[in-house]
Structure 1
Amino acid sequence: MNRNNNIKLYGVVLGCGLLGSDPAFTQTTENAQSLYQEKCAYCHGDKGDGQSFAAHSMRIKPANFVSGEYKYRTTAYGQFPTDQDIEKSIKNGLPGTSMPAWSDLLSAEQITSLAQYLKGLSKKPTAYSAAIVAPTQKFADANIADGKKVYQASGCINCHGVNLDGQEDRIARIKGNIKEGVAARDLTDYRNYRGGASLSDIYTRIYTGLNGTIMQGYGNVLTEKNIIDVSAYLKSVYDQKEQTRWLDNSQKTMEERGDYLLSISTCELCHSTMSEDGSFKEGLSYAGGMKVISPADGEFYSRNITSDKDSGIGKWSTEQLKRAIKYGETPDGGSLYAFTMPWLFFYNMEDRDAEAIAHALQRIPPIYNKIPPSKPAGLWQSFKTKTKVMFGQMERTLVFARDNYGERNPEEGKTIPDFSSVRHWSILPPMGLVSADKVVKASGFELPAPKATGSKEMDAKLSRGRYLVAITPCTLCHTPTTGKVIFKGGESQSGGIKVELNHFKTLYTANLTSDKETGLGSWSDQEIRRAIRSGIKKDGELMHFQGMPWAIFSNMTEADTEAMIAYLRTLPPVYKKMPKVIPSNSPDYVIADEDHGIRK
């Protein structure tokens, strides 16, 4: 069986359980290969070459073990890592990426066995030079002022910039001036130091460099004192930045902010066509074409949001795009169906962020895929369906159909109108007849505001976390609705929405409140972080990417992830157990927004 084809659905719930507690595990090739397939292949691919379903959405791509280009080592530049280097990355993970820490999920024997298996995948000779030893006894004599001079004179400034945040380099890549290589790291945040942020770790990274990148090893370029001084300088910068991190209102440039927000948003999920196996259809990212069926309201199609002028948003102005994101307005004066384009949750997005995303959308390369206009339900169909929902005879659902319903042929596409000529009168409240602010206020989806802590820094951190939870938007999946006629949001982030994931599983969205028995109250920060960024639950089970779009959220900065976790901790506890995961017979993806959670 080809695992890449079987698990391309971004992580079907494997149900394989943890191997880490098995004392009988032995270091055989067969066991190590099985362990790799269960825990690693969904990101790194069957062959270990980094070519997997998950890589599609990740800005930082999974490592290619076949190439043997390990970045984080204690060996000289260009050399293979030591066994301990590989094991350290497995144990501790790599901050700022989807690579989680496995130290609490795998035994020491399993980690050792897995490291040996990874070495065997490499086509590069695995011999290595002796590991360097950082001169820790000399760190006390470091000169920060001299380190700043070394940072400038040695060329670090050319990539990481005057402010050490790498912004100039990343903007150049966004604009296409630099097309190859890895973007420069933001060195002002210790969370971005993937091999560790201690003086010893920084010294080692500067000395050895990052294999496979332009970050050469400086061990033979700079003196020992030079490296000690520049290491101390970098640490002093991130230490100082941390003191005001959550109070700092400075913004990144419009280009970088938009690129970042688009990468952590769920736009790609709905605006990219799915194949039968759950993966994205190649060449159609952001080109729309997914059919969404509401039995009560009709058929809708996700729009082409690439910059194509004939079938996408190439002719939309920045202001028009911004208003579509925040208010659900279309250029022709119509309104977007709030349950397929969730502008209800983007309404509170800052204008500058909505504008930044609009600019990012305008930079997506054009793809021709003409999308048909929506088909509103007729009066009788809408009445019958809503009556059945009202009396509990059927659930209120959205069905997401596989395959592309757009037209790829430009000649055929000329016959398809840009917008529907029929107003969607059947939707409650009527689209376009009630102002967006009134709809948002009546919906009841507003997130609880955290209580003041007495610390400006913590209050600012919680505020950022709340904002990120709002715009990603977690509420869309984790807050069920109440009411059969006029419905509104239920208990915030308490989960319980039923999701049928094609013909694989039927599951229920998780309870994110602070309840210790059924929510996140008993989870550690590391466990929550791992679920958000790597799709791994507390027990080590892998989550389906549509149930939890972790491949997208892995693009979030560690600081933003930390702020989200801090905010989730403040949510009032709600006891709500979820029904067991069961098989699904649906050929498509179905969401039922009612609360299916089990209470005491």
Structure 2
Amino acid sequence: MRAAVSIALALLMAPAMGETLTERGAYLVGSVMVCHNCHTPRGPQGLDLSHALSGGQTFDEPAFKVTGSNITPDKDTGVGNWTDAELKRFLVSGIKPNGTKAAPIMPTEFYTVLTARDLDALAAYLRSVPPVRHETPAPEYRIALKPEVPTYAGRQASEAELSDKLARGRYLLTIAHCLECHTPEGPSAVHDFTAASGKGGRTFRGPWGESVSPNITADPATGLGNWSDDEIKRAITQGIARDGRKLKPPMAYAAYASMTPQDLDAIVAFVRTLPPKK
């Protein structure tokens, strides 16, 4: 019986039958990794998907001022002249073909866990989107930033290990870079992953006004310890808190609503294991 359950789970977590690399890449970009949140321009009505991935939000922080870059295959202003190897190296290192490094708002440290297949899928999908000519401003770096190693990142995952539900949840939570927003920053814009991973408390300002990331650890008083699975899923996919409050962006609720039920289940199962932080 145990062997049968293991086989069934492995089949459930395996790539969908007939899923192409481009389809897998579209799912990662549009749902799990929410690349549009930073790389697609935002108008009064929300994301302008007619110019998808052509450069988007500007982040004006004490440490830097950068704009989400053009990652369409436009040869002059996008990544059209990058090789697949250069694109995949950038995703996990932040290093561009010209040797410069992206600002830390690009969560490349989290992407170090991406499987070889998912890196191939991302490259394939980014090659397939319509090229848009749109030049984004050059970045401004105001202070030297220390490198970070986020919780659960730093080692490439294998497809085989993702057949385990908790391992898959950890993987998805990492490539969705949830802990980037849900961990407070200390001095010099460095996250306190050691002592406060998942504790929340970061402030985000945008067209929505101001929002503060909540505690997503298992703490029963300030975190998700007393939430049901369905309440956590509703918060992720609809932006509705346990008490019925409407949650604000930049959490990409509409994108997460398109995640598969299996992936949502895996994320919730893993979030339950985050050590409680007050």
Distance 1:509 1:325 in 2: 25
Verify the 8 A CA contact 2:14 2:163 in the aligned structure 1. no
Verify the 8 A CA contact 1:527 1:538 in the aligned structure 2. yes
Identity level (%): 33
Alignment of 1:269 onto 2:34: no
Residue number in structure 2 paired with 1:543: 247
Distance 1:279 1:574 in 2: 34
Residue number in structure 2 paired with 1:365: 130
Residue number in structure 2 paired with 1:310: 76
Distance 1:281 1:250 in 2: 33
Among 484, 496, 518, which residue is 2:201 paired with? 496
Residue number in structure 2 paired with 1:528: 232
The one-letter code matched in structure 2 to 1:295 is P
Cα pair distance change 1:286/1:254, threshold 3 Å: same
- Post-superposition Cα deviations, 1:461-502, rounded to whole Å, max 9, x if no partner, equal 111000000001111111112345866424221111112233
Cα pair distance change 1:245/1:550, threshold 3 Å: farther
Cα pair distance change 1:250/1:549, threshold 3 Å: closer
1:240-319 equivalences under 5 Å are 244-248=7-11, 250-251=14-15, 252-264=19-31, 265-275=33-43, 277=44, 279-281=46-48, 283-297=50-64, 299-319=65-85
The one-letter code matched in structure 1 to 2:211 is L
Residue number in structure 2 paired with 1:324: 90
The one-letter code matched in structure 2 to 1:480 is P
- Post-superposition Cα deviations, 1:9-55, rounded to whole Å, max 9, x if no partner, equal xxxxxxxxxxxxxxxxxxxxxxxxxxxxxxxxxxxxxxxxxxxxxxx
Residue number in structure 1 paired with 2:156: none
Instruction: Report the Cα offset of residue 460 of structure 1.
Output: 1.3
Max Rg structure: 1
Cα pair distance change 1:360/1:497, threshold 3 Å: same
Among 162, 176, 183, which residue is 1:479 paired with? 183
Cα pair distance change 1:311/1:483, threshold 3 Å: closer
Distance 1:472 1:486 in 2: 19
Distance 2:48 2:24 in 1: 27
Structure 2 residue runs of 5 or longer lacking an equivalent are 154-160
Cα pair distance change 1:572/1:272, threshold 3 Å: same
Among 564, 573, 578, which residue is 2:276 paired with? 573
Verify the 8 A CA contact 1:311 1:368 in the aligned structure 2. yes
Among 315, 340, 345, which residue is 2:110 paired with? 345
Instruction: Report the Cα offset of residue 526 of structure 1.
Output: 0.8
Instruction: Report the Cα offset of residue 507 of structure 1.
Output: 2.5
The one-letter code matched in structure 2 to 1:491 is A
Task: Calculate the aligned-residue CA RMSD, in Å.
Answer: 2.6
Cα pair distance change 1:495/1:555, threshold 3 Å: same
Distance 1:486 1:317 in 2: 31
Structure 1 residue runs of 5 or longer lacking an equivalent are 1-239, 378-425, 430-438, 449-456, 576-600
Length-normalised TM-score, structure 2: 0.85
- Post-superposition Cα deviations, 1:239-276, rounded to whole Å, max 9, x if no partner, equal x997534334744542232122112112101111122x
Verify the 8 A CA contact 1:322 1:354 in the aligned structure 2. yes
Instruction: Report the Cα offset of residue 281 of structure 1.
Output: 3.3
1:31-110 equivalences under 5 Å are none
Among 256, 262, 272, which residue is 1:553 paired with? 256
Higher relative contact order, chain-length normalized (CA < 8 Å, sep 6+): 2
Length-normalised TM-score, structure 1: 0.41
